[in-house]
Chain A
Amino acid sequence: MESDWLYIGLFLVVGLIIPIVPLILSRLVAPHKPNPIKQSTYECGLETVGESWVQFKAQYYIFALVFLVFDVETVFLFPWALALGQLPLFVVLEGVLFIGILVAGLVYAWRKGMLEWA
């Protein structure tokens, strides 16, 4: 069990190091002749107007909120799905009820017009 997670840990470290190798290789062989125009922000030849970190649509934020509710709740369903074979029917129905609450949340968001891209 511990060795499984040791393996994952090693995998994460090696997995992060190996993609750096071609970057280092490129740093060694590629030419490097910077100039201000080359290094300016690329907008297909036009000059950038104002700040580049612009404000964005608040709609994204609302979708993120809806997502958060669902994601947390679906994680709770994993133990239920795993134990489904051993559970009595009553507990299975309780799980269904839980999903029903999820659906009610979705319907509420839908009726409130939160799912519209305005």
Chain B
Amino acid sequence: MNLWNDPINFIAGWLRALLTGWGLSLDLAKIFIMLVGVGVLIVGSLVLAIFLVWVERKVVARFQDRVGPNRIGPYGLIQPFADIIKLIIKEDITPTTADKVIYNLAPVLALASVLFLWAVLPLASNIYGVDLNVAALYLVAAGALGTLAIIMGGWASNNKYALLGAFRMVATMISYEIPMVVVLLIPTLLAGTMSFRGIVESQAGAWYVLMAPLAMLIFLISAVAELGRAPFDLNEAESEIIAGFHIEYTGMKFGLFYAGELLHAFTFGGFVALLFFGGYQFFGLEKLGPLVAVTIFLAKAMFGYWVIMWIKYTMPRIRIDHLLAFNWKFLTPLALILLVVTALLHKLLAGLPLWGITLIMFLTNVLIAWVTVEILRAYGRKQRQAEEVLAPAGQH
């Protein structure tokens, strides 16, 4: 046990010796060490959120053919700190008609709900907050709190636009929760465990993206919808309902919503990496040391975050009826079919070598994707023909 191979246990052991040396009881020392661990993890993820503000602004600028922040510090790296100072010294305006307690609680909960997720993220095989045996359920539960924060903010603001934004968000979230939970079952069933560390370890042979590429796509799409980011950002929809749920929030309270959204997107990038892309594993490179593993995990999460940004800045916003139809008539049935097929294949192919299972599962996924596309194409053709019967071409 040394600092390089097992930093957390090394530091915890050192702290425990120090604290018991001071005369604390072992239990109290344990709780204190946990508290230090929790503090470090939360502060670390908040520092990451500050860095993400810079990443987001820089990447958006590149997508829109601009330079982005480049004045303060090298490559504008100090810019987010300037942003924070600005947000802190802005006047905080609370509408007189707002429900004060809920109004003030909402931004705190919005950021906290994202921070909660970091408790179960395994950054490396021995660097993680806690290795829960029901981590998948914890992810669903903690993720849903973010939506609660949004409806609290939207309702308590006492503003029609805010209320509309909040209702739209709830409709999106409760709809897209279904395919997300169903797809979450697929890595669970392949790994035979709900613990995230177990799921990552079981991908040592083959990443689950090879066995369930469609599940990965559905998870990514429903994660984007849960985040309420474009093209599913109906809760904000600047051009229709001004800013949606955070219309009445100013200064640091808005800042908390903003930081929460960015960190949420990054965290879900991390979850996609963890569930489908082998988490902190990268062809044996993670065995060099926990710090290398953490770097690998953060790089994968950053890639996931970048894809989510890419989607956000290239897709137009979709209409609410399309949004709900896309989920209930497409994603949910597809996710359920995938679950059944994966479960049956996993059971029937149990004796085969790993590469055989992976290959057959991959080909099955390709087949399902092809059939789905064909069904959609036939449906589209039928609709076009129906429209042409109603209004022949050229008479619009």
Q: Chain A residues in contact with chain B, CB under 8 A?
A: 3-4, 6-8, 10-12, 14-16, 18-20, 22-23, 25-27, 29-34, 36, 38-44, 48, 52-54, 56-57, 60, 63-64, 66-67, 70-71, 74-75, 77-78, 81-82, 84-85, 87, 89, 92, 95-96, 99, 102-103, 106, 109-110, 115-117
Max chain B Cβ within 10 angstroms of own Cβ: one of A8, A41, A67, A87: A41
Q: Chain B residues in contact with chain A, CB under 8 A?
A: 30-31, 34-35, 37-39, 41-43, 46, 84, 87-97, 104, 107-109, 111-112, 115-116, 119, 129-132, 136-138, 155, 158-161, 163-164, 167, 170-171, 174-175, 177-178, 181-182, 185, 188-189, 192-194, 242, 247-248, 251-253, 255-256, 320-321, 324-325, 328-329, 332-333, 336, 339-340, 343-344, 346-348, 350
**Is the Cβ of A7 less than 8 Å from the Cβ of B242?**
no
> What 18 additional pairs, Cβ within 8 angstroms, besides A27-B92, A53-B155, A81-B343?
A10-B35, A11-B119, A15-B112, A15-B119, A19-B112, A32-B92, A36-B96, A42-B159, A43-B159, A53-B163, A60-B170, A67-B178, A71-B178, A74-B178, A74-B181, A78-B136, A82-B189, A87-B347
Shortest Cβ distance from residue B120 to the other chain A in the assembled complex, whole angstroms: 8
Residues of B contacting A29 in the complex (Cβ-Cβ under 8 angstroms): 88-89
Shortest Cβ distance from residue B131 to the other chain A in the assembled complex, whole angstroms: 7
Q: Indicate whether A52 sits within 8 Å of B174 (C-beta atoms), given known contacts A30-B88, A30-B91, A96-B340.
A: no
Shortest Cβ distance from residue A67 to the other chain B in the assembled complex, whole angstroms: 4
**Is the Cβ of A84 less than 8 Å from the Cβ of B34?**
no
Shortest Cβ distance from residue A53 to the other chain B in the assembled complex, whole angstroms: 7
CA distance A40 to B158 in the complex (A): 10
Shortest Cβ distance from residue B154 to the other chain A in the assembled complex, whole angstroms: 11
